[in-house]
Structure 1
Amino acid sequence: MDTINNQLAELWEYLTGPELWLTIGTGILKIIIILILAVIIVRVTRRLANRLFNKGEKGGKGRMTERRENTLNKLTKSVVSYVVYFIAFIMILDNVLGFNIGALLAGAGVAGLAIGFGAQNLVRDIISGFFIIFEDQFSVGDYVAVSEIEGTVEEIGLRTTKVLSWTGEMNVLPNGNITQVTNYSLRNGLSLVDINIPYESNVDDAERIINEVAATLPEKYEFIVGTPEIIGVQNLEVSHFVIRVIAETLPGSQWAGERNIRREMQDQLYKAGIEIPAPRVVMYDRGNDGDREVLEEQKREREQ
C-alpha cells in the first residue's frame, strides 16, 4: 500500500512540477513556430508564383505562353503547399514528438509498396497528369471536350482535372480517365452557317446580299477573323436551296460566330424581300376529272 501511495505521490509531483509543463509548453511553442513558418513559406511562394506568372507584367506573349502560365501557376502553388506541409509534419514528429523518422520512413516504404498494388488507379492518375502538363495537351482556360464533358478547364492537378461546364457544373475528372481530348482553344475555329433560300428568289441576288452583310461582320464582331465566304449552293431541298457560308473565328468563338451570322443574314435577307422558306404541300382532288387526266398524262410522259 505504501508503494502505491509513493508512486501516486511521485506521479502527482511530476504532473504538477515545472519540468513537465515546461516540456509541454516548449513542444507546443515549437509546433506553433513550425506551422507559422510553413504558412509564411506557402504564402510567400504563392505571391512569387503570381508575380512570376503574371501575364500583365510581361508584354508580347503568345497565347500558348499565357495558357502555360495559368496552368503552371496553379500547379506550382499546389505542389509547394503539399511539400511544405509534409516537411512541417515530419519536423513535428521528429523534433517535437520524438519519433524515429528513419524507422518510420522505412516502415512507410514497406507499407507503401503493399499499398501501391491496391492504388494502381492513383498511380495511373498521377502519371497521366504529369504527361498532360508536360505535353501541354490542354491548359487552364481552354475550352475542351473530355470524357463526354465539354467546358472550360479551371484547374489541372497531378491527380485530377476540374472542368466547368457552360451550364455551371464543376466536373472533377481523374486524369487516368482522360484518354481523348478535343481542345477548341489551340487553333482558330470555323463557323459554318447554312442559309435556306426559297426557289422564288434568285441565287445571284441572295449571294449579293449575303456578301454585302459578310463584309460588315468583322467590324461588328471582333471574334470574326476576316470576311465570311460563300462556299456555294450546298443542297437542293423540296421548297428551298441552301447556301453555305463559312467564317474563321478566334479559338472557342465559332458557336458565337454562327449565331451572329445567322442573325445578321436573316435580318438583311428579310428586309430585301427574301423570306424564310416554308414547307410546301401539293394536294390533288381525285373527284376532278381534269386533274386525273393531267396526272395520267404526266405518268405516260415519265414512262416514255
Structure 2
Amino acid sequence: MRQFMKPLLKVLALLAALISISAPLSAQVPLPSSGGGAAAAPTVPDDLTPDQVDGLVARLSDDQVRALLLERLDAVAQAAQVQPEPRKGPIARVGDAAKAMIASWLDAVRKVPLLVSKQAEALSNFSAKLGGSGIATLFGYTLLALAIGFAAEKLAVYVTRSWIKADPGSAADNLRGAVSFLFRRFCREVLGLVVFYYVLVFVGRRLLEPEQIAYAAPFVLYLIWLPRLGAAISRFILAPNRADLRLVNASDHWARFLHRNQIGLFLLIGFTLFIVTFNNLNGVAMGEMRLGFWLNTSIHVYIALIAWTARSGLTEMMRGDDPDRTRFDDKIATYYPYFAIAVSAVVWLIVEYFVAIQEIPVLRNIGAGAHYTTMFWLLMAPAIDTLIRGLVRHLQPPIIGTGAIAEQAYRATKRSYIRIGRVLAGIFVILMIANAWQIDLRQVAGAGTDLGGAVIQFLMIAAVGYILNEMVSLWINRQLAREQTAANQSPDEEAGEGGGAGGSRLATVLPLLRMTAQAAIAVIFALLALGALGLDITPLLAGAGILGLAIGFGAQKLVADIVGGVFFLIDDAFRVGEYVDVGGTTGTVEKISIRSMQLRHHRGPVHTIPYGEIAKLTNFSRDWVIMKLKFTVPFDTDPNKVKKIFKKIGAEMMADPTHAEGFLQPFKSQGVFDFDDVGMIIRGKFMAKPGKQFTLRKEIFNKVKAEFKANGIDFARREVRVAIPGLDEAEHMTPEQKSAVAAAAASQTANEQAPGS
C-alpha cells in the first residue's frame, strides 16, 4: 500500500504546483535533506520543462510531497474563501468613469504651471543631446533636404503638365470635364507631394545621423507634408478660386473660409502630433505636463467654432442643388453643422475617458491619431452623401420615354442609386475607422463567438441583403418604365366606355415579380442575419412549414385564387390597362396581385375580383378595335356624296401625324345601313389601336359635321306634319282656332313618342 501511495502523492503534489495561484518565484533552489524534523516545502517554479518535471519527481521525498501538497491545498482553500467583487451596474460604472475623467481634468488644471517649465526641460534635453553643432547640422541639412525635395516636386509637376490639357469651362455645363480637370490637378499635386517626401527621405538619410532623423522626420511629416495634403484635398472639393469648377454648392465666401480653416486645422493637428513626439524623444512624458490635453481640446474647440461660424454655408453645401431632394436630405443639411459639433464633443469625451482609465492599447492608437481619423470620416459621411447625390444626378442614365410614368420611374431609379451609394459609403467609413483603431473586422466577424463578432456578421448580412434588394428593384423599375412608356400613351388620355390600350405582358408581370423577389430576399436575409446573432432559426423554419400546411388545408380558396392567377398570367389573358368583362363586370385592369385583380369602371367604381371566381373573361383591348359610327340623313341625300365625304375625312386624318399613328385602317363608308321613319342611316367604320378609338371618334364627328354643313347636308330630325284643310285661310283664323290646332299637333307628337306607339 505504501508503495502505491508514494508515487500517487508525488503526482498530486506536482499537479497542485502547476495549477496553483501562488506567486511564482524566480529560480529553483536545492531541496533540503529529509533528515529529522518537519520537512520544508520545496520551492517549485511555474515554468517547468518536461525534463525538470521528471527530475523533480525523482528528487522529492515523502515528507516533502506531504508538505508541498498541504501548502497547495491551503492556498486553494484560501483562494476559494475570497469572495469576488460584485459586478457593478451601468450607472455605477458611468459614475466611476465620470470621477476618473474629472480627476484627470483637475490634474491637467493643476499642472498648467508646469507647461512652460517642462517644455523648457524638453528643449534643454534636446540641446544637450545633440549639442550646438548637432542642432546646427540638423537645421542646415534639413533645409537643404527641403530645398532638394521642393525642386524635385516642381520638376515632377512640370513633367506632368500635360495631364491638364484644357480648361473645361463651367461645371454646370460640363460636369464630367470639370471633375476630370480637378481630379487631374489633384493627382498632380499628390504626385508632387509623394516625390517631395521620398526625395526628402532619401536625401535626409544620407545627410543626417539616425538620432537627427528621429527629429526631422516628424517635423516634415506633421508640419509640412500633412497640411499640404489637406490643402490639396480642400482645393479639389471646394475649388476656392474657381466657382465655375466647384463641385459643392457653396458661395465664394464660404468656400474660401472653409479652405483657409481646413489648412489651419491640419496645421494644428500636425503641431499636436509633432510636439507629442518631440517631448517623448526628449524624456518629458506628456502626462507630466498634460500639454496633450490642452492641444487636443483646442483642436476640438476649433472644429466646433468652424462649424458654428459657417453653419449657413455648410447647410447650403449639404443641401446641394438637386431639385429632387427629399425631406430627409433637407434635414441632414439643416442639422449637419450641429452634427459636426456633436461629433467633435463626443470624440473628445471618448479620448478623455481612455486617458483617464489609462487603457494602454487604446492610448497607443490615440497617440497615432486614430481619433482624428475617426472624426474626419464621421464629419465626411454627410458630405459623401451629398457627393453621391450630385454624382447620381449627373451620371444617371437618361430618362426612358416621356410623360408622368417615365418621370416617376426616373426619380425612383435615382433614389435607388442614392440608397445603394449610401450603404457602400457607410461600409467604407466603417472600414476606415476600424483600420485607424487597428481592428480587423474580418477576424472579429470570423470568430463569431462574442457579441461584437455576431453584430458585425449581422450588419454585413443586412447590408448585402439591402444592396441586393435595391439592385433587383432598380433593374425591374427600369424595365417597367421602358415597358410602360413604349406605347407612348398620355396619362391624360381618355379611356372611355370600352377601355384604353393595355400595357405589355412584362408591364403586367414585373410588379408581381418585384414584390415576390423583395419578399424572398427579405425572408432569406432576415433568417441569415438572425442566425448570425446566435438565434436558433430552426423553430422559425418549422413554424413556416406548419403555417404552409395550415394555408394548404384551411385556405383552399386562397390557394385556388393564387393558382388561378398564375395560369391567367401564363395564358396572357389580360394586362394592366386593358378593358375586360368578367362575368358582366366591366372595367379597366388597374391593379393585379397574387390572388385578385382590380377593375376600374369608366364611371369610377373599382371592382376587386379573385382569380378563382373568374369563369370567363372577355378582353376588349387586345391587338385592335373596330369602331362603327351611324349617321342619319334625310331620304333625299345622295349616298355617293356622303361616301366621298367619308373617304376625304379618312384621307385627311391619315395624313395628319397627330392621328395617323392611332389608325390601323382609315375611316371609310359602309353605305346605307338602314331606313327608319326619319331618314336613311349611313354607317362608317375604322380600325384603331386599343385606347385610341375614342380620340379618333371625337375628331371624326367634328369633321363630319363640318363637311355636311359645307356641302348643304342636314342631319335628319323627327318632324310632325299636320294637314289643315283650308290652310290658305289661315291668316283669317281667330286666336282660339290657332290654339286648337297647336294643341292637336302637340297631342299627336306625344302619342308618337309614347312607348309602344
Q: TM-score, normalised by structure 2?
A: 0.31
Deviation at 1:15, TM superposition (A): 6.6
C-alpha distance in 2 between matches for 1:178 and 1:85: 32
Deviation at 1:83, TM superposition (A): 0.3
Q: Does 1:122 align with 2:555?
A: no
Paired residues of 1:230 and 1:244 also in contact (CA < 8 A): yes
- Structure whose alpha-carbon radius of gyration is higher: 2
Tell me the alpha carbon deviations over residues 236-277 of structure 1, each in whole angstroms, 9 at most, x when there is no partner.
Answer: 111111001111111232333332222211210122111121
| Letter of the 1:81 counterpart | Q
Q: 1:218 matched to which residue of 2?
A: 654
Paired residues of 2:672 and 2:683 also in contact (CA < 8 A): yes
Q: 2:475 matched to which residue of 1?
A: 48
| Letter of the 1:236 counterpart | F
Q: Does 1:140 align with 2:576?
A: yes
Q: 1:83 matched to which residue of 2?
A: 520
| Letter of the 1:271 counterpart | A
CA distance 1:179–1:251, shift in 2 (3 Å): same
CA distance 1:227–1:100, shift in 2 (3 Å): closer
Deviation at 1:41, TM superposition (A): 0.9
Q: Does 1:196 align with 2:632?
A: yes
| Structure showing the higher helix proportion among its residues | 2
C-alpha distance in 2 between matches for 1:110 and 1:72: 29
| Letter of the 1:35 counterpart | A
Deviation at 1:200, TM superposition (A): 3.4
Q: Does 1:271 align with 2:707?
A: no
Indicate which of 450, 465, 468 corresponds to 1:38: 465
CA distance 1:23–1:174, shift in 2 (3 Å): farther
CA distance 1:114–1:52, shift in 2 (3 Å): closer
Q: 1:302 matched to which residue of 2?
A: none
Greater relative contact order (Cα < 8 A, sep 6+): 1
Q: How many residues align?
A: 265
Tell me the alpha carbon deviations over residues 97-130 of structure 1, each in whole angstroms, 9 at most, x when there is no partner.
Answer: 62341x4433443343234333223212211221
C-alpha distance in 1 between matches for 2:605 and 2:470: 29
C-alpha distance in 2 between matches for 1:229 and 1:141: 29
CA distance 1:26–1:165, shift in 2 (3 Å): farther
Q: Give 3-state SS (helix, strand or coil) of 1:200's partner.
A: coil
Q: Does 1:110 align with 2:546?
A: yes
Same amino acid, percent of matched pairs: 24
Q: 1:72 matched to which residue of 2?
A: 509
C-alpha distance in 2 between matches for 1:169 and 1:27: 53
C-alpha distance in 2 between matches for 1:82 and 1:164: 27
Paired residues of 2:633 and 2:714 also in contact (CA < 8 A): yes
Q: Give 3-state SS (helix, strand or coil) of 2:504's partner.
A: helix
CA distance 1:95–1:229, shift in 2 (3 Å): same
Paired residues of 2:663 and 2:688 also in contact (CA < 8 A): yes
Deviation at 1:51, TM superposition (A): 5.3
Deviation at 1:215, TM superposition (A): 2.5
Deviation at 1:96, TM superposition (A): 2.5
Q: Give 3-state SS (helix, strand or coil) of 2:673's partner.
A: strand
CA distance 1:161–1:34, shift in 2 (3 Å): farther
Q: Does 1:258 align with 2:697?
A: yes
C-alpha distance in 2 between matches for 1:67 and 1:104: 39
| Letter of the 1:264 counterpart | K
Runs (5+) with no aligned partner, structure 1 = 1-9, 60-65, 289-304
CA distance 1:26–1:117, shift in 2 (3 Å): same
Tell me the alpha carbon deviations over residues 46-84 of structure 1, each in whole angstroms, 9 at most, x when there is no partner.
Answer: 22334566748xx9xxxxxx8123233323211110101
Tell me the alpha carbon deviations over residues 21-49 of structure 1, each in whole angstroms, 9 at most, x when there is no partner.
Answer: x9667666555444333221111112233
| Letter of the 1:89 counterpart | A
CA distance 1:68–1:255, shift in 2 (3 Å): same
Q: 1:240 matched to which residue of 2?
A: 679
Runs (5+) with no aligned partner, structure 2 = 1-83, 94-448, 487-502, 728-757
| Letter of the 1:218 counterpart | M
Q: Give 3-state SS (helix, strand or coil) of 1:129's partner.
A: helix
Q: 1:94 matched to which residue of 2?
A: 531
C-alpha distance in 1 between matches for 2:677 and 2:87: 103
